Structure 1
Amino acid sequence: MNEVLMSYTLPRPMARPGQQRPVFDARIGSNSFGDLPDWDLSDLYPAPDAPELLRDMAWLETACADFAAKYEGKLAGLSAAEMLDCVAAYEAIDVTAGRIGSYAGLRYYQNTMDSERAKFMADVQDNITNFTTPLVFFSLEFNRLDDGVLAGLTAANADLARYTPVFERMRAMRPHQLSDEMEKYLHDASVVGASAWNKLFDETMAGLMFSVAGEEEELNLEATLNLLTDSDRAKREAASHALAAVFDKHIKLFARVHNTLAKEKEIEDRWRKMPSPQYSRHLANHVEPEVVEALRNAVVAAYPKLSHRYYKLKAKWMGLDRLQTWDRNAPLLTEAPRLVNWAEATETVLSAYAAFDPRMAEIAKPFFTDGWIDAGVKPGKAPGAFAHPTVTTVHPYVMLNYLGKPRDVMTLAHELGHGVHQVLAAGQGELLSSTPLTLAETASVFGEMLTFRKLLDGAKTPAERKTLLAGKVEDMINTVVRQIAFYDFECKLHAARAEGELTPDDINILWMSVQAQSLGEAFDFADGYETFWAYIPHFVHSPFYVYAYAFGDGLVNALYAAYADGLPDFQEKYFDMLKAGGSKHHKELLAPFGLDASDPKFWDKGLSMIAGFIDELEAMED
């Protein structure tokens, strides 16, 4: 079902998926990093068969039916106080559905190969979908209210007026909503549509094993991707070939997943009269298409002074005339391989947060002490990292696959930033707390920047400073350049699919066109790399999500520049922005900092920070 409408007609079981870390092709290694924490999900429910969960599931079924019986066909006649009661009842249902769905989803992500967990999540998803079908009328009927009637209601009741941002986002869908009967059908069918293909993709990826030359045992996806950052070039090459071989073996399945999801989206977009495949994402993000286009154009125009220039410099450092794709995330030759234990990672991030503002570290501490982080690499565990906000009456949970690399410390800083943001935004309540994806990356990328600056300030030698700068530049290129290249790939993929079925080779060609453009002339592309689109989860789970990373990075670079320049009361303004959650538009949130994302020149500020780091690295060569 369409994301914009779905978010206000009760979400699917993983109620609001956590913001995932952008895919960097690397994250893990061995397991001797101290006592890594596991999730304690009992703050949601003690067990799948707990009386509390069974009670809430029964309550949800009754509450949804009662809501429909009380309000369906009657919204136009409600007083302001009655409409507030209606919204509050809806929000209470949202909390319970989100709590149940979050528990089922997080248990599943702990071990996606466990059939009992998969069944439990699927059953929960089916139940919630069935129970909430009677609520589909709400946003549809609400959107049929006369503008003047709604204005009168909100003018008469300040508590109701607080929900105006929710109402505005709902009513943005007015031109795109279908008949009540069709919306109910799409709601019911969602469990066998994109959701089912998502699960097929996740389970397939979790089950893939890779035979890497020189490794004694087969490795899973995370461990194999990790080798792409190994200091041994032969290991990186072997890992790349192993990835390519397995992706190629399954390429027809991955092509089928993408063909089906893109066609399903095209059909629904056509019925909803969406002007482009990207438009529903822009609506969900509460961002104007022209702002995203300005971001995309600014980044593509900056490829030569960012990625192209940096990778030529990296080839020189590595003593190579040309780089291969397995050299992209290679550590510098001057960099001694180093593993960071969990205690050091914890202290590094918390002290960086505390140096900015002690309140930030205090908010972050329970993640480490109360079972809010699941850090270890385990069989069947979902790859990557994310922060999931669950519901505003509980707390967020962070998932990592921590294996001690310096980049894993930055991932911890990133996901913890999401967690802090989610804790602060929870005060807005369930319907207003969820931050648009474009702003959801703000606290995470800012947390990374704080941690990076702390490490950079503590660098003891020019070589250490160079290593830190190069690592940050690579992460920023991965966050900005790589994600915009991903966005362009998706745009091309969905446009091509609208013309007909795509073969694996068709998709491979689209992938290579954006890779060559974004990486530049320093690279050769060995056979097999053309299939590396296959493992990127964002294309499957959240079409066109990826530009949010570049948006967040550019925004944070501009924010950090204001902080570094000594903007008065920066910390208070920053906390106010995070506390706002989804209650304000990006223009309103950025105004106190003197920033405006709708100004095309805004993006050049953030890109200039990356270019400045590369300038410093080039100067070190003189």
Structure 2
Amino acid sequence: MLIRPIPVHDANASSGNKDLGKLPEWDLSDLYTADDAPELARDLDWLEKACTDFAADYEGKLSDLDATGLLECIHRDEKISNIAGRIMSYAGLRYHQLTTDGARTKFLSDCQEKITNFTTPLVFFTLELNRLEDDHLGKLLAQNAELARYKPVLDRIRAMKPYQLSDELEKFLHDLGVVGDAWERLFDETIAGLTFSVDGEELSIEGTLNLLTEQDRSKRESASRELARVFGENIRTFARVHNTTAKEKEIVDRWRGMPTAQTGRHLSNDVEAEVVEALRDAVVAAYPKLSHRYYELKRKWLGLERMQVWDRNAPLPIEDTKTVDWPTAERVVMDAYSAFDPRMGEIAKPFFDKGWIDAGVKPGKAPGAFAHPTVTNVHPYVMLNYLGKPRDVMTLAHELGHGVHQVLAADQGELLANTPLTLAETASVFGEMLTFRKMLENAKSDQERKVLLAGKVEDMINTVVRQIAFYDFECKLHAARREGELTPDDINALWMSVQAESLGPAFDFMEGYETFWAYIPHFVHSPFYVYAYAFGDGLVNALYAAYEETPEGFEDKYFEMLKAGGSKHHKDLLAPFGLDASDPKFWDKGLSMISGFIDELEAMEE
């Protein structure tokens, strides 16, 4: 889920974006028709009773259940998850359409509080599951094949066993969750409310960040300095949010006895800490041959003595900066998907035709791009803030990949469809790769090929190098917060400590860039999420190399991997392709693809 900062102006009202064509909007009626729909009231009533009945029937009794009884218990829990997920999907998506609307904010908050209250009695379920003896649970699983299907999710639940607190404390933390959510909403609403003035035009953060890809260097500089000015004016609020959420996490981690701040994320991702560290170390070791080398090339292309931060995502001087309208973007992505396998095109088509994408930039609309799976008996929804840039086409390919993955995994059911974040980025990054390869194949000149290659390298650096730098920043932030309150200057210093190392010696850093950590939503919403992007990119590069080496039968194996959802560990999912992410050399394979593209760009200079 690649989340970008949010716009609060209408792109179709600005001169640069009026020719995008008709942009699709969500039709949320497949979830509920309105916030006062009778079906929504019915489901809330059902959920309250179902949770009460579940607790009455099973609390203190899980160890007495036979295989059939435990399976029925899991099915009932799955149904509760489905209805609660449907309600929260509707409330959340509706809020994301207009975060500045008080009624929508209240509706989301009220739904969250009701569902938290309804589901508090269910906290016992995972606690008692974790108290079952391994031998006892193993026998039950051996007796019932349908029950055994749930082993992967039971294993993930039981991985938390060493960090489990008392029943009373777990219920307390469950109830307290709504307070943490409030800090996240403060962050979102603060971002949504920021306004920036660039050359006399008032913009939100999305529109301002978009200027960093303009051909006009003075426009990029003006946008960068205005971002720094506004972030600086609001830095105390952002520092307070980060201090509070990091402290909250530290307290919970300490009580649970988690050895590191990252442990919880690794457990939820079903990935071993050493695999993540191998990825991180491989990427950091590759900085010189990736980002450092590429940005030195780009410095020469731009004719600069030194690069500034506003040059990082600048288009090349030879690049045609015309706007890509929506019908063209749809055609490019659909052609790439269908060329790989017609089944992929068939799954993707309804997103465009049935109101499953919300693409326009509108006042108050929430952070930039994501695919939300909702629940397994509805369908995913994709959100974009489409401004007609070539990168926006790649973002469409990315999020549509998530959507295809979520559709294919839905047959696993509510508890097994959800893919750990490390694998959740596989289909999205693969979708980008398919789109890029199709565009490269259709390039009409060496100049067009060079622009496409450079754009892909930049996207990969942003996905791999930048995200690992983000991960290192978070590691430093959470470690420092454990020692005490952090001032804005403290956080600024941590940010700058990773920037020069990752971007390389071609760059200077303007005054004010030290505050650019402030707008990254992942740090607040999903601590340590960011390494999943690098994981996904490296995995997809290795997958695509396997596809090129042995295309026969690849499509079927790929579809089976996506259909598996969260029902298999990454080792089992990658085995049919002859790949193993726990092999330290695995990451070098993925990074060598990026390095190879840079080799090709360097060869074009000779």
Q: Which TM-score band (shorter chain)?
A: over 0.9
Write the distance in 2 (CA, Å) between the matches of 1:115 and 1:605: 49
The alpha-carbon deviation at position 23 of structure 1 amounts to 7.4
1:238-296 CA distance string (max 9 Å, x none): 00000000000000110000000111000000000101000100000000000000000
How far the C-alpha of 1:383 sits from its partner, in A, is 2.4
Separation in 2, partners of 1:348, 1:147: 51
Deviation at 1:337, TM superposition (A): 1.1
The DSSP-based 3-state class of the residue aligned with 2:567 is coil
Is residue 2:206 matched to residue 1:206?
no
2:39 corresponding residue in structure 1: 52
Task: Compute the displacement of 1:491 (Å).
Answer: 0.2
Aligned to 1:9: none
TM norm structure 1 = 0.95
Give me the whole-angstrom Cα distance separating, in 1, the residues matched to 2:140 and 2:30: 37
Residue 325 of structure 2 corresponds to residue 333 of structure 1: no
Q: Establish whether residue 434 from structure 1 lines up as the match of residue 418 from structure 2.
A: yes
Count how many residue pairs are aligned between Structure 1 and Structure 2. Answer: 600
Please state how far the C-alpha of 1:52 moved relative to its aligned partner.
0.3
- 1:284 maps to 268
1:22–1:479 CA contact under 8 A, matched in 2: no
The equivalences for 1:402-481 within 5 A come to 402-481=386-465
Structure 1 equivalent of residue 258 of structure 2 = 274
Q: 2:221 aligned with 1:237, yes or no? A: yes
For residues 126-145 of structure 1, the C-alpha deviation after alignment (integer angstroms, 9 at most, x for no partner) is 00000000100000011101
Partner of 1:6: none
Task: Letter of the 2:29 partner, please give it.
Answer: S
Amino acid of the residue matched to residue 517 of structure 2? W
Q: CA deviation at 1:30?
A: 1.9
- The reply on whether 1:391 has 2:378 as its aligned counterpart is no
Opposite residue 174 of structure 2, the aligned amino acid is H
1:565 aligned partner: 549
Counterpart residue number, 2:106:
119
CA distance in structure 1 between the partners assigned to 2:201 and 2:300 by the alignment: 34
Q: Partner of 1:43 in structure 2?
A: 30
Q: Note if contact 1:397-1:419 (Cα within 8 Å) is conserved in structure 2.
A: yes
Q: 1:255 maps to which residue? A: 239
Look up the match of 1:595.
579
**Within 2, Cα distance between the matches of 1:566 and 1:454?**
19
For 2:322 and 2:465, the matched residues in 1 are separated by 27
Number of the residue aligned with 1:493: 477
Question: Paired residue for 1:196?
Answer: 182
1:478 positional shift: 0.1
CA distance in 2, matches of 1:327, 1:24: 21
The alignment status of 1:552 with 2:536, answered yes or no, reads yes
Q: Deviations over 1:164-202 (max 9, x none)?
A: 00110010000001000000001111101x211000000
Which one of 570, 579, 588 corresponds to residue 563 of structure 2?
579
Aligned counterparts of 1:523 and 1:20: Cα–Cα separation in 2: 25
- Structure 1 distance, partners of 2:555, 2:524, is 37
Counterpart CA distance in 2 for 1:310 and 1:321 is 15
SS class of match (1:432): coil
**2:602 is the counterpart of 1:615:** no
* Aligned equivalent of 1:380: 364
Cα distance in 1 for partners of 2:487, 2:194 equals: 22
Change (3 A) 1:65 1:24: closer
Contact 1:31-1:403 within 8 A present in 2 as well: no
Deviations 1:67-113 (A, max 9, x none): 00000000000111111100000000000000000000000000000
Q: In structure 2, the residue corresponding to 1:403 is in which secondary structure?
A: coil
Shift of 1:336: 1.9
> Which residue of the other structure, out of 54, 67, 71, is the alignment partner of 1:84?
71
Q: Tell me if 1:178 matches 2:178.
A: no
Following superposition, the deviation at residue 22 of structure 1 comes to: 6.7
Question: C-alpha root-mean-square deviation of aligned residues, in Å?
Answer: 1.2
Q: Report deviation, 1:490.
A: 0.1
Q: In the alignment, residue 560 of structure 1 is paired with which amino acid?
A: Y
* Counterpart secondary structure, 1:387: strand
1:338 positional shift: 1.3
Q: Distance in 1 between matches of 2:65 and 2:600?
A: 63
* Amino-acid identity (%): 74
- Where 2:196 maps in the other structure, the secondary structure is coil
Aligned to 2:2: 20
Match of residue 299 from structure 2: 315
Contact map agreement 2:4 2:367 (CA 8 A) in 1 = no
Deviation string 1:378-435 (CA, Å, 9 cap, x unpaired) is: 0000121000000001000000000111110000000000000000000100000000
Q: Distance in 2 between matches of 1:522 and 1:187?
A: 48
How far residue 211 of structure 1 moved from its aligned partner, in angstroms, is 1.2
- The alignment partner of 1:218 has SS state of strand
Secondary structure of the residue aligned to 1:581 is coil
Instruction: Provide the rounded CA distance (Å) in 2 between the counterparts of 1:255 and 1:565.
Output: 49
CA contact 1:24–1:478 (8 Å) conserved in 2: no
TM-score normalized with structure 2 length: 0.98
- SS of equivalent residue, structure 1 residue 276: coil
Aligned counterpart in structure 1 of residue 90 of structure 2, from 100, 103, 108: 103
Task: Work out the CA distance in 2 between the residues paired with 1:24 and 1:467.
Answer: 27
Per-residue CA distance 1:4-55 (angstroms, 9 max, x = gap) = xxxxxxxxxxxxxxx3347799x98624200100000000000000000000
Q: Partner amino acid for 2:192?
A: A
Confirm whether residue 129 of structure 1 aligns to residue 116 of structure 2: yes
Letter in 2 for 1:252: R
Specify the code of the residue in structure 1 equivalent to 2:189. E
Q: Deviations over 1:338-385 (max 9, x none)?
A: 111111100100010000000000000000000000000000001210
Deviation at 1:567, TM superposition (A): 4.0
Alpha-carbon distance between aligned partners in 2 of 1:164 and 1:102, rounded to the nearest angstrom? 26
8 Å contact kept, 1:375–1:402: yes
Report how far residue 65 of structure 1 moved.
Answer: 0.2
Q: Who is 1:10 aligned against?
A: none
Task: Output the CA distance in 1 between the equivalents of 2:570 and 2:129.
Answer: 25
1:217 offset after TM fit, Å?
2.7
CA contact (8 A) 1:484 1:546 kept: yes
CA contact (8 A) 1:72 1:138 kept: yes
Distance 2:318 2:331 in 1: 26
CA contact 1:476–1:553 (8 Å) conserved in 2: yes
**Structure-2 change in CA distance of 1:421 and 1:351 (3 Å):** same
Unaligned 5+ runs, structure 2:
none
Q: Is the 8 A contact 1:251 1:504 kept in 2?
A: yes
Q: What is the alpha-carbon distance in structure 2 between the residues aligned to residue 287 and residue 22 of structure 1?
A: 26
Q: Distance in 2 between matches of 1:167 and 1:620?
A: 53
Q: In structure 2, what is the Cα distance between the partners aligned to 1:24 and 1:352? A: 28
- The answer to whether the Cα contact below 8 Å between 2:232 and 2:515 also exists between their aligned partners in 1 is yes
**SS in structure 1 of the partner of residue 147 of structure 2:** helix
Report how far residue 565 of structure 1 moved: 1.2
| 2:523 counterpart (539, 552, 573) | 539
AA in 2 matched with 1:101: M
Q: Distance in 2 between matches of 1:53 and 1:595?
A: 45
